[in-house]
Structure formats: C-alpha cells, structure tokens
C-alpha cells in the first residue's frame, strides 16, 4: 500500500510539473509537439516491448471484440441518457456527445498507469483491446458522422469512398498500429524481445522510459478548465459515463468468470479511458465544411465547442479515476467495491439534474437572497 501511495504521489507531482511549465508555453503547437512525441515515439515503443513479451494466441482476439462491444454499448445508450442532462434529442450538442462518449484514448489516459501498476503483460492485453476501439473510432464513427451530416443538411453522396480511403490510410500510417503489426509479425516468426539485436532492444527500451513522465507532464500542460454551465453539464455526463462503464466491466467480469485481481483491474480501467481525439477529427472536418457554407449554428451537425470541452475535461477526469482505481491496490479487485464505486459515480453525475435536488438548490438560493 505504501508503494502504491509513493507511485501515486510521483504521478501527481509530475502532473504538477506540467501545470508549472504551462506558464512558459506561449504557443499551443508546442504542447501538440509533446503529444506527438508521446503518440509517435514513447507509446509505440512501450507497446512493442509489451507485445514482444507475450505468447501469440487466437484467444487474444477476445480483447478487441470485448472493447468494440463496449463502444457500441455506450453509442447505443447515449441517445437515451443524454436528454436527462438537459440536452435536446438530435441537437448538435447531443450528436457531438453521441460521437465522443463511446470512443476511448487509452494511450494517454490509461496505458502509462497500466504499465506502471499492472506490468507489461497487462499493457499488451490492453494494447490488443485498443485495436477494436481504434477500428470503431476511425471507421464506424466516421461513417456515422457522414450519415448524420447528410441527414441534417439533406445532402446526397458526399464522397464517402474517398473519405473512407483517406481515414483507412491514416489508420495504417499511425505509428502505434505499424509497431503493433511489426510486433505481431515478429512473434509469428518466433522472435521475442530477448532474441532481437541488442541495438534494437536498447532503442525501444530507452524510448519506452519516456512515456510515463511525458504523459503526466502533457496532462498538466494541456488541461485548461474554466467555469461555466456547459462544464458542469459535461462533468455530470462524464461521471455518469464512468458509472455505467464500471457496470459494463462488472458484466464482463461475471460473464467470463474473471478472478485474477490484475485482470479485474484491467477490465475496469481500460473502458474508463478518456474520450478519443478521432471522433473530434471527424467532427472538425464536417464543422469546417459547414462553416465554409455559412450554415447557422442551430443547423450544424455538431457543436465543436462542446467537443473541445468534453476532450479537455475527459482527460484529467479519466486519469484521476484510473490512478485512483489502480493505486488502491486490491480494493477495486473486489466486485462489491466496484458496485459501490459505480453507484457513487452514477449518483455524482445524476444528482445535480434530479428535480428534487434542483428544487432544494432553488429554495436555498431564495433563502440566501432573502437574508
């Protein structure tokens, strides 16, 4: 337990260092440059080392399948729970969150901590699971974004094949996918990390050591939160998302009879990852197209401001939840504690939007004004 507390304090202090360094950043492109180093160098190296340390098996395919099931679970339920938080059905904000909430960005928000607390084998499983998540975010959500746009703007075919081809090419070119494919090829040929040339081992090992500190510093540098009603609404929705995410994890734990503490924690923290940037990329393309046509905000397919706020809030919130679960040791490896955590997160998300709570809040405000 003391070891877990020391690790957590180290992680928090590195995030604090990022916050301190933010004052020295004059151009946001510098922060984006750091993010690029993480996603293109440190993360692929870490995933490569993790994958090269496991034995290949067809059973590994279950991990991306389970994560795709999670993606669809959130995607299909979002239109039903979003109106509870005050979002009109089929509004730009509602469509935006329907795109963002099912997607995951484990590379920034959970992989570094899985590696730190659960080890390389767990990270390799998480990386395999992320293959399904990437397919969902890059391809399915791209198709959905086009369908939404065409339905709202009443357009015909807008070049789906070309757009799909571009995104498939971007998927192939993404460094982490290239590295994962390379690792799978090596493993299928009988190679492992220890059998590779020493210079290759050293390159990947040294690049991998950058990931943890860089991710934490990036989080501290990148996150900027301001007061506002939209932030409170998005926070509530993200807490609710975390609550139903743990319910989904519990379902998987019961269905597959998972008892190993590391596997239980892995099943919990991967789906708790922050919302992915990829749906925002799809949203941005369509938003830019509609801006050029000078389409008014109420007729736009998506709300770009809501998308940016969601990404900004999701990353630190998911990071806190993931660190909290993993740093607790074996506490959240117990299903009874996971049920309590899920209920707590659901309550935190729903309570401010319950009519009873609103009435009490209004009464207290009136009483304060009267005095």
Q: Cα separation of 193 and 48, whole Å?
A: 9
b/e burial code for range 211-246 (CB count within 10 A of at least 16 → b):
bbbbbbbbbbbbbeeeeeebeebbbbbbbbbbbbbb
When the pLDDT of each residue in the chain is averaged and rounded to a whole number, the result is 82
The answer to whether 184 touches 51, Cβ cutoff 8 Å, is yes
Q: What is the pLDDT of residue 194?
A: 82
pTM of the shown model: 0.75
Q: Residues 182, 270, 205, 194: what is their CA dihedral angle, to the nearest 10 degrees? A: -60
In the predicted model, is pLDDT for residue 292 greater than 80? no
DSSP for 68-89, please give it: HHHHHHHHHHHHHHGGGGTPPT
Average pLDDT on 354-371 reads: 62
**Residue 32: its pLDDT value, please?**
73
Give the number of other Cβ atoms within 10 Å of residue 331's Cβ.
Answer: 14
DSSP 346-358: HHHHHGGGSHHHH
Q: What is the pLDDT of residue 215?
A: 75
pLDDT higher at 60 or 356: 60
Q: What is the pLDDT of residue 357?
A: 60
What is the structure's pLDDT at 1? 47
| pLDDT beyond 70 at 31 | yes
- Kindly tell me if the per-residue pLDDT of 166 is higher than 80: no
Residue 269 has pLDDT above 90, yes or no: yes
Chain mean position to CA 342: 18
Residue 21: CA count within 13 A, CB half-sphere: 20
Average pLDDT over residues 149-165: 62
* Range of lowest pLDDT (150-154, 160-164, 313-317, 349-353): 160-164
Q: Give 59-82 pLDDT, tens digit per residue.
A: 778 999 999 999 999 999 999 999
Tens digits of residue pLDDT in 91-124: 999 999 999 999 998 887 898 889 889 988 898 8
Answer whether 45's CB lies under 8 Å from 211's CB: yes
Is a pLDDT exceeding 80 seen at residue 358?
A: no
pLDDT tens-digit series, residues 195-249: 888 998 899 888 888 877 887 787 777 666 555 678 889 999 999 999 999 999 9
Task: Report how far residue 283's alpha carbon sits from residue 297's, in angstroms, rounded to the nearest whole number.
Answer: 14
- Predicted confidence band of residue 3 (pLDDT cuts 50, 70, 90): low
| pLDDT recorded at residue 158 | 44
Rounded Cα gap, residues 161 and 157, in angstroms: 10
**Angle between helix 335-350 and helix 229-255 axes, rounded to 10 deg:** 160
Give percent of the chain with pLDDT exceeding 90: 32
287-290, long-range: CB < 8 A, 24+ apart: 289/149, 290/149, 290/153
């Amino acid at each position: 337990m003391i070891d877990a507390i020391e690790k957590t304090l180290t992680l928090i202090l590195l995030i604090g260092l990022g916050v301190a360094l933010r004052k020295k950043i004059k151009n946001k492109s510098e922060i984006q440059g750091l993010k690029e180093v993480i996603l293109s160098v440190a993360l692929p190296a870490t995933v490569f080392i993790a994958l090269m340390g496991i034995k290949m098996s067809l059973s590994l395919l279950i991990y991306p399948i389970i994560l795709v099931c999670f993606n669809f679970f959130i995607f299909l339920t979002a239109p039903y729970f979003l109106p509870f938080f005050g979002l009109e059905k089929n509004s730009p904000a509602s469509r935006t969150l329907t795109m963002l909430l099912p997607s995951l960005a484990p590379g920034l928000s959970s992989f570094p901590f899985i590696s730190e607390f659960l080890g390389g084998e767990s990270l390799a499983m998480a990386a395999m699971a992320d293959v399904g998540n990437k397919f969902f975010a890059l391809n399915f959500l791209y198709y959905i974004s086009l369908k939404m746009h065409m339905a709202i703007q009443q357009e015909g075919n807008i070049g789906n094949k070309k757009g799909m081809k571009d995104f498939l090419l971007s998927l192939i070119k993404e460094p982490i996918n290239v590295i994962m494919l390379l690792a799978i090829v090596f493993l299928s040929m009988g190679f492992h990390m220890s059998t590779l040339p020493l210079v290759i081992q050293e390159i990947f090992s040294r690049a991998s050591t950058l990931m943890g500190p860089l991710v934490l510093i990036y989080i501290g540098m990148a996150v900027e939160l301001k007061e506002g009603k939209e932030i409170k609404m998005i926070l509530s929705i993200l807490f609710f998302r975390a609550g139903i995410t743990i319910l989904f994890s519990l379902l998987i734990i019961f269905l597959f009879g998972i008892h190993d503490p590391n596997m239980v924690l892995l099943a919990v923290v991967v789906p708790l990852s922050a919302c992915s940037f990829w749906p925002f990329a799809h949203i941005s393309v369509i938003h830019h197209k509609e801006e050029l046509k000078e389409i008014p905000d109420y007729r736009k397919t998506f709300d770009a401001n809501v998308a940016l706020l969601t990404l900004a809030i999701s990353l630190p919130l998911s990071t806190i939840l993931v660190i909290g679960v993993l740093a607790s040791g074996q506490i959240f490896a117990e299903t009874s504690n996971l049920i309590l955590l899920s209920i707590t997160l659901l309550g935190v998300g729903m309570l401010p939007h319950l009519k009873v709570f609103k009435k009490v809040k209004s009464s207290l405000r009136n009483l304060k004004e009267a005095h």
